[in-house]
Structure 1
């Protein structure tokens, strides 16, 4: 029989709106002794059943909801159906973009809290970030084996957030190892080399797929500066769409080497694409001193905000790079600027860019917005699922 979590009076409101989290301060008492990750029932102060979810004694998010249906059993069939439903929701977008790399499960937004599952051709990468996800590891793997029998499965649960759940960091193959951790995926006709063992996140930034298409659509005949370029995938779309030149900048030589391989993979090795191993903040200032100018600049930095306490400092960082980038653009040039920091909301991000324009003494017109790709959905019951924001700005 499941342990029971009783909430304080009035703390059931978010669950009635189908939000999938129960915080520790909302709990009045725990009846039973649930193990970390075990499924528990959540009841209001009067004892009315509200939901069932995975218990995590060490996390501030004490319960992550699996289901709001009292007749639902959290078993293998439950997870199998969630995976099938998620695949079905993505099939149209996969066909539309000729995708062989996509996100199958985006955690709470796909009603599997703490679970991230990405598919890279014939390799599936799982990232299990909560106690409940970790507890259900082998059930999930078994379901994936049934649905994708020809795929290898690798785990990338190497994210620090697991420590908040009392979990160790884990990586490794959950099936027999693939012949190579490197795999080639396709997005909208562009081929991309991904290493699932060493690449960022689960191997690659699948969420920026729409932004890469957008960058390509603006790139013809432009001199493009691609900052925080990683493996150069923005530059692939720009070069393929007729950019006059592209300069990729990243601090990682490994990433830049992969960028060169990606160019060759797409027959773009003779395109005018150069690579600079340098800190972006430092290089932007050097370019400003040298009087260099570009027609288009892409700013896709790593997450600057990992806690609310770091928000002010992060805003300064975003403002700084956007201001200098605006100063490096030719009149009428385009700035494609992004933030993947979920704690920095879209309104504040736009304000930071506006402040950067004021300090740079530039006029900034926002001509387009982008967000995370279709396979990173935002559930209406879980607005926290919206994290990736992009602005296309014309600067004069």
Structure 2
């Protein structure tokens, strides 16, 4: 017999839920049968009494319920979370081979049936971010299971660092904090928050305490490798370089020269360290500057100084309301890059904003090409690496668009 409180949803929510989408919004709940507290598991039903699933409830968030199961027979005990973690880890071992498994995303929220939870692996350190109240309450079970599964794989985890220092936690009623997670299944925390990873043969220092997101943008791993395959003998301009991800991959791919640009002084400092760590100071230079200003200056000079430009901007559109201005920003940098490149030059361009859909991004690129008087010859169209899986029934899990073109 079911003992969870029932939430009855309207027709609109029912249609979406039956496609497999894992969220129920507050305005979609018709009535409640029973009482619950934030973070409790509740059952979701249609108005005709059809069971939809069970998930974490939260009256504080716009998302009233985040489903974790559609099986009415599930018992949400330690064994349940153990299975979830085992599935997630086994999937990464399949899609991230060899050294790629050493630094990858192990848990990707709803795509792994653990809503609001991100866990990235950097060698023997795990970095976790929890954005769902209910998941936060069971994270000890999840972390313990993850450490145990990795140990079975021969990987001894030295520490779990929590990066819960983001404002979005406020929306779920969670306090912000960061630091080493302490538990009886973990050893004493490492003495340093910096570790060195190897991505595509390039070494990077990752600061898990102060770096953006969880310390590094793992979702571009194979996109950086794809760009590197085109870089041999090229003069490369890497815009929004962050810690040198694309710049160093291009240099390792045989680029003649690489100019990396970022507005952040800290990002420039970290990029400089990574340049010297890889012995690429004769190929790669980095500068602190506004990319928009750099592209404007190059456009006005009408010089063809670069034959490969890489555009990896931050998410200009962090909400639907910001989409219009974000689209203008994306178009400006792409249009100028197309004008700067010589005929036959190469362009790598991307957007990590979910709100900037692939259709909108492609349309913007087509308009920029038309306004620049060039044609785009597509080489590849790519997405995030497979350790960040995309659920087709939850469009929010697919966010990264990446294209390689020849400008003709």
TM-score (norm 1): 0.96
Residue 111 of structure 2 aligns with which residue? 109
Q: Identify which range, 317-326 or 377-386, moves more after superposition.
A: 377-386
Residue 137 of structure 1 aligns with which residue? 139
Residue 299 of structure 2 aligns with which residue? 288
Residue 76 of structure 2 aligns with which residue? 74
- CA displacement at 1:395 relative to structure 2: 1.3
* Partner Cα distance (1:7, 1:341) in 2: 29
- Tell me, yes or no, if the aligned pair for 2:169 and 2:175 is still in contact at 8 Å: yes
From 52, 55, 71, give the equivalent of 2:54. 52
Residue 40 of structure 2 aligns with which residue? 38
The answer to whether the aligner puts 1:228 opposite 2:235 as a matched pair is: no
* Partner Cα distance (2:87, 2:198) in 1: 23
* Partner Cα distance (1:350, 1:376) in 2: 22
Superposition map of 1:1-396 within 5 A: 1-9=3-11, 11-96=13-98, 98-148=100-150, 150-151=156-157, 152-175=159-182, 176-269=188-281, 271-293=282-304, 294-396=306-408
Aligned with 1:331: secondary structure? Answer: coil
Aligned with 2:36: secondary structure? Answer: coil
Alpha-carbon RMSD across the aligned residues, in angstroms, is 1.6
Aligned with 1:89: secondary structure? Answer: helix
Change (3 A) 1:283 1:140: same
* Partner Cα distance (2:146, 2:15) in 1: 35
Q: Identify which range, 57-66 or 140-149, moves more after superposition.
A: 140-149
Aligned with 2:54: secondary structure? Answer: strand
* Partner Cα distance (1:285, 1:207) in 2: 29
Cα shift readout 1:134-181 (whole Å, capped 9, x = no counterpart):
222222233234334632001112222222212222211103432211
* Partner Cα distance (2:114, 2:293) in 1: 41
Q: Which blocks of at least 5 consecutive residues in structure 1 are unaligned?
A: none
Q: Which blocks of at least 5 consecutive residues in structure 2 are unaligned?
A: 183-187
- Tell me, yes or no, if the aligned pair for 1:15 and 1:50 is still in contact at 8 Å: yes
TM-score (norm 2): 0.93
